[in-house]
Chains A and B, each alone.
Chain A
Amino acid sequence: MPMIMRAKYTKVGMMKYLSHLDLVRLFERAFRRAEIPLAFTQGFNPHPMVSFASPLSIGVSSEAEYFDLVLSTPLDAKEFTQRMNDTLPEGIHINAARLYSTNKLTSLMKESALLSYRIEGHSNIPLQLEALDESISSFLAQPEILIEKTIKKNKYKHRKQNKSVTVNIRSLIHSFNIKSVKENFFTAELEIYNYDSGTVKPLIVCQNWIRFSELQICQEDLTFHRTEVCRKNSQESFEAILSSDSYS
């Protein structure tokens, strides 16, 4: 009976500068060091069967990343977590895991419906909470927020074509709120839908907000931290794919 271990992990500190591919390699090697009973793909070059949720941009940290790993024999979720955390480098840490006795789960890509971020930034001048709140309200009150997006077309090997399309990102923003302001510094929370048809990076949302509201916020110094990835449950409300510190 194939088993799937779904795990939630952090990517914080300097590790946020690893690319997604670097991270995949890091996990494949950690699985081997932790002696996790892996199931492999067929063929000349067998690989462990692991799939990840929506990849992070380089430089964005997270406390809610997910992967599904197919196991060849069952393993207790707590045991799995401990063995992995013993060998994972600082910054990457498993904080929830659940073992499913099935060979098919709804993929993490499909499960990820809502991405939550904490954003921190600063200005050269002192900021006012009311003014920031107001700027976000009017930013979100626009019926459409249009951005130009280039889509890389790689369909024909020798004819790389880049196509530019206009996308409305207003419909991708679930919520956007200022959490606190202290002198020149502010913290905000942003929730973004992750549709099959597309999503938007939090940086793009912030750039458009800053441009729209003519705020003097240093774009280069904004930091982004993913706080949760939610799925839609049967009651059509959002809940974390795995709640932190749960092992079952």
Chain B
Amino acid sequence: MNLEKLLKKVEKPAQYLGNEYNSVRKEIRENTIRFGWCFPDLYEIGMSHLGSLIMYHLINEKTEAFCERFYMPGEDMSKLLQENYLRIFSLETKSSMNEFDLIGFTLQYELSYTNILHMLKLSEIPLRSADRKEKDPIIIMGGPCAYNPEPIADIADIIVIGEAEEIIIELIELYREHATNKADFLTAAAAIQGVYVPSAYKTSSRITKRFIKNLDQSYYPQNPLMPHMKTVHDRATVELFRGCIRGCRFCQAGIIYRPVREKSKEKLVADACAIIQNTGYDELSLTSLSTSDYSQFYDLANELMSELENERVGLSLPSLRLDNMTLKILKQIQRVRKSGLTFAPEAGSQRLRNVINKGITEDDLIQSVKKAYEAGWSQIKLYFMIGLPTETMEDVEAIYQLVSNLDHEVYQKRDSQYKHPLKISVSVSNFVPKPFTPFQWSPQDTMESLKMKHQLLKEKFRKKRSVQFNYHDPETSFLEGIFARGDRHLSEVLIRAYEKGCRFDGWMEHFKFDKWMEAFEELEINPEKYTQGTKSTDTALPWDHIDALVTKEFLIREYNKALNAETTPHCRQKCTGCGLQTVEGGGICP
């Protein structure tokens, strides 16, 4: 293939080059197992995904297999490939997917499923698992969306439930033994804990998720790949912990990544210093689901600052809960940019915040924003959701009221010594109920109702010049909700919609809602049956055969408390008995 001919004609050709700093090259011999890591979205998104980074380097360093990468090509490149009868190619050796033994897709977002089909299609690999032959590569899928594997169960050969660091090594070793016979390999793979093989599945058995028991001993790349072009998160990253103590009832990540497991401060500082040295990044991000909940957060931030200050490396701290201690740290970190700070009250009224168990009060929020403003921040971002269970129009209006009070208390009543402005931006997303959360039984708010709520807020905020108001399209949320709680029938809808030209569904400029509705209609499937929830918690759910190690009793308990607006203390205050406390490696969360 004359790649250069294509590169001259496409936008952002840097995304197709490969050979990035710290990318891996291995000699390909007769018996080399070739693994294709696929991210079903653009390079600039995929290169920011920490999980992909870990897996790429883990496979290359810890196994004999050679792991290469595939990303979804841009529409211009797709068109050129199809016009010239070419296949998509790996970044490392420019090979097509058919030359690989194992292909792994990461499922980060329901609306990237059509991109998976497109990447298979552009590789001339049959879309349905049942149609693939012995010579075709084995298609593995995993990631947070795999917790409800049914919508893609006819497409994948193997679905990995939970954290993949150990499973992937086991699968590669197993493949070495059974490379000559696909059926034997799949049968053997199905015996690994955390591996779901839809074609070999026997009803009544359950697939139990895998998690890494000791994160300090788990692999973390010290020479991470560096993107050729600007990506969403273009910086060095260390992962402080997995899991979350908070127990917000809408949050799937907070459940599926249980139990809480922290890395030691020593390991984090050592990793951070090595990564900065090996990459030359000037910014280090401390990531987790709730960074300031790291038990030695203050000491860690101080130590990192004293190690990195001379190198002029800045710290980036996403997912903070702003309490007094955190603000003190933020003030000390000279190089945290004072441009923007994000808060997520999620709901406008106290009652609704109790329903979702977001343990934050209006007064907390006002005090935090006030302190942040007085410490020099001038831009505040506020995240809310609408369409939450039990929500009324009063709850929606309360979003406006809360923002209004905030502006009044912090900015209008500011001390005269503060001259800088306060810009508030309000972002409202539509709540989508997810499996393995207490709201997995709840109806999703309808598109009509969401549109009414948007209208109400739009009108309210129109009068408030200092506030920028953004909201999300209800149609993409509807589709996301369908696939989040969908069943096996959706595999066919997915393929039909793809054949009608749907892809990049998460990108507004490409989303074709009418084509999706046509696909549902032609297959005589009512999409609303997936979003209307269930009357009783006894109803069987499509993901009941997956065991996320959190008991259904716990979820039901939380669901009932939610409906009564009762809160649950976080895991450090009192063990909630979610189920992980009796699991080996789980125990009481730190």
A residues whose Cβ falls under 8 Å from a Cβ of B: 14-15, 17-19, 21-22, 25-26, 28-33, 40, 44-46, 58-59, 87, 89-90, 220-221
- Note all chain B residues with C-beta closer than 8 A to A17: 7, 13-14, 17
Q: A58 — nearest CB in chain B belongs to which residue?
A: B13
- Chain B residues within an 8 Å CB radius of A221: 5
Residues of chain A contacted by B5 (CB below 8 angstroms): 220-221
Could you say which residues of chain A place their CB within 8 Å of the CB of B9?
A: 220
A-chain residues with CB within 8 Å of residue B18 when the two chains form the complex: 14
Map CB proximity to A onto B271-304 as digits: 1 under 8 Å, 0 otherwise: 0000011111110000000000000000000000
Residue of B8, B20, B337 touching A45 (CB-CB under 8 A): B337
Query: What chain A residues lie within 8 Å of B230 (beta carbons)?
Result: 21-22, 25
**Residue among B19, B20, B335 making CB contact with A44, cutoff 8 Å:** B335
Q: Is there contact, CB below 8 Å, between A14 and B19? A: yes
How close is A223's CB to chain B, nearest CB, in angstroms? 9
Q: Are A31 and B17 in contact (CB under 8 A)?
A: no
* Alpha-carbon distance between A90 and B20 when the two chains are bound, in angstroms: 9
A206 CA to B180 CA in the complex, in Å? 56
Check B312 against A40 for contact (C-beta < 8 Å).
Answer: yes
User: Which chain B residues lie closer than 8 Å to A19 at the CB level?
Assistant: 12, 14, 229
Whether the Cβ atoms of A220 and B8 lie closer than 8 Å is yes
Asked whether B507 is an interface residue with its Cβ less than 8 Å from the other chain, the reply is: no
How far is it, in angstroms, between the C-alpha of A58 and the C-alpha of B15 when the chains are bound? 13
Interface bits B19-41 vs A (CB < 8 Å: 1, else 0): 11100000000000000000000
Give the CA-CA distance A177 to B283 in the complex, in Å. 49
Q: Which of B173-209 contact A (CB under 8 A)?
A: none
**For residue B277, which residues in chain A have a CB less than 8 angstroms away from its CB?**
33
Identify the 8 closest CB pairs spanning chains A and B, nearest first: A29-B280, A32-B280, A17-B13, A33-B280, A14-B17, A22-B229, A18-B14, A46-B312
Q: Is the CB of A33 within 8 A of B14?
A: no
Contact partner, A28, options B8, B20, B282, B311, Cβ 8 Å? B282
Q: Which of B13, B226, B338 contacts A29 (CB 8 A)?
A: B226
Separation of A174 and B7 alpha carbons in the complex (Å): 30
Asked if A89 meets B21 with Cβ closer than 8 Å, knowing A18-B228, A29-B281, A44-B338, the reply is yes
Residue of B nearest to A45 (CB): B337
- CB <8 Å contact, A59 and B338: no
Query: Shortest Cβ distance from B422 into chain A, in angstroms?
Result: 18
Q: List 29 A-B contacts (CB under 8 A).
A: A14-B17, A14-B19, A17-B13, A17-B14, A18-B17, A18-B228, A19-B12, A21-B230, A22-B14, A22-B228, A25-B230, A26-B21, A26-B228, A28-B282, A29-B226, A29-B282, A30-B280, A31-B280, A32-B276, A32-B281, A32-B282, A33-B277, A33-B278, A33-B280, A44-B338, A45-B335, A46-B312, A59-B13, A89-B19
Which A residues touch B312, using CB under 8 A? 40, 46
A235 to chain B, nearest CB (A): 40
The answer to whether B314 has its CB under 8 Å from any CB of chain A is: yes
Residue of A nearest to B21 (CB): A89
**In the assembly, what is the distance between CA of A45 and CA of B334, in Å?**
10
Secondary structure type dominating chain A contacts: helix
Bound Cα distance A33, B335 (Å) = 20
User: Apart from A14-B19, A44-B338, what 4 extra A-B contacts exist at CB < 8 Å?
Assistant: A19-B12, A22-B14, A46-B335, A89-B20
CA distance A21 to B278 in the complex (A): 21
Nearest CB of chain A from residue B412's CB, rounded to whole Å: 27
Taking CB atoms and an 8 Å cut-off, the chain B residues in 234-249 that contact chain A are: 234
A46–B312 Cα distance when bound, in Å, is 7
Contact present for B337 and A44 (CB under 8 Å)? yes
Chain B residues with CB under 8 A of A220: 5, 8-9
What is the CA–CA distance of A18 and B20 in the complex, to the nearest angstrom? Answer: 11
| Residue among B5, B9, B229 with most chain A CB within 10 A | B229
Minimum CB–CB distance from A77 to chain B (whole Å) comes to: 21
By beta carbon, the residue of chain B nearest A34 is B280
Q: Which residues of the partner chain B approach A28 to less than 8 Å between Cβ atoms?
A: 280, 282
Distance in Å: Cβ of A163 to nearest Cβ of chain B: 24
Chain B residues with CB under 8 Å of A14's CB are 17-19
List residues 67-95 of chain B with CB under 8 A from any CB of chain A. none
A31 to B311, CA, bound (A): 12
Report the bound CA distance from A221 to B8 in whole Å.
9
Distance in angstroms from B6 CB to nearest chain A CB is 11
Minimum CB–CB distance from A57 to chain B (whole Å) comes to 11
Which chain B residues border A30 with CB–CB below 8 Å? 280
| Least distance between B234 CB and chain A CB atoms (Å) | 8
Measured in the bound complex, the distance between the Cα atoms of B228 and A31 in whole Å is: 16
Question: How many angstroms from the CA of A195 to the CA of B43 in the assembled complex?
Answer: 37
Q: Name the residue on B nearest A47 (C-beta).
A: B282
In the assembled complex, the Cα of A28 lies from the Cα of B313 at a distance in Å of 12
**CB proximity of A17 to chain B, nearest CB, Å:** 4
Contact of B314 among A22, A45, A59, A89 (CB under 8 A): A45
Chain A residue nearest to B22 (CB atoms) is A89
Residues of chain A lying within 8 A (CB to CB) of residue B314: 45
Q: Determine how close the nearest CB of chain B comes to the CB of A12; give it in whole angstroms.
A: 13
B337 CB to nearest A CB, Å = 6
Query: Which chain A residues border B311 with CB–CB below 8 Å?
Result: 32
Among residues of B, the one whose C-beta sits closest to the C-beta of A88 is B21
Complex Cα spacing A208 to B482, Å: 55
Residue of B nearest to A18 (CB): B14
A-side contacts of B281, CB under 8 Å: 29, 32
Q: Closest CB-CB distance, B378 to chain A, in whole Å? A: 12
Q: Return chain B residues, CB-CB under 8 Å to A90.
A: 19
Q: How far is the CB of A67 from chain B (nearest CB, A)?
A: 16
- A133–B587 Cα distance when bound, in Å, is 83
Question: Which residue on chain B has the smallest CB distance to residue A27?
Answer: B280
Q: Whole-angstrom distance from the CB of A221 to the nearest CB of chain B?
A: 8
Using CB atoms, name the residue of chain B closest to A90: B19
- Nearest A residue (CB) for B283: A45
In the complex the two chains form, what is the Cα distance from A218 to B276 in whole Å?
46
Distance A30 CA – B276 CA, assembled complex (angstroms) = 11
| B 143-183 to A, binary, CB cutoff 8 A, 1 in contact else 0 | 00000000000000000000000000000000000000000
Cβ of A31: which chain B residues have Cβ within 8 Å of it?
280
A29 and B14 in contact, given A89-B19, A89-B21, A90-B19 (Cβ under 8 angstroms) = no
Closest to B312 in A: A46
Closest to A221 in B: B5
Closest to A91 in B: B19
Complex CA–CA separation, A17 to B77 (angstroms): 15
Give the complex CA separation of A29 and B12 in angstroms: 21
Least distance between B471 CB and chain A CB atoms (Å):
22
Most buried by A among B7, B9, B14: B14
Chain B residues numbered 97-129 whose CB sits less than 8 Å from any CB in chain A:
none
When chains A and B are docked, how far (Å) is the Cα of A211 from the Cα of B20? 39
- Closest-CB distance, A86 to chain B (whole angstroms): 12
Could you tell me if B229 and A33 are in contact, using CB atoms closer than 8 angstroms? no
How many whole Å from A140's CB to the nearest CB in chain B? 27
Closest A residue to B234 by beta carbon equals A25
Q: Assess whether B279 is in contact with A29, with CB atoms less than 8 Å apart.
A: yes
CA distance A87 to B277 in the complex (A): 12
CB distance from B4 to the nearest CB of A (A): 9
Chain A residue numbers with a CB within 8 Å of B279 are 29, 33
CA of A59 to CA of B8, assembled, Å: 7
CB-nearest residue of chain A to B23: A89
A22 to chain B: which residues have CB within 8 Å? 14, 228-230
CA distance A176 to B231 in the complex (A): 40
Q: What distance in Å separates the Cβ of A241 from its nearest Cβ neighbour in chain B?
A: 26
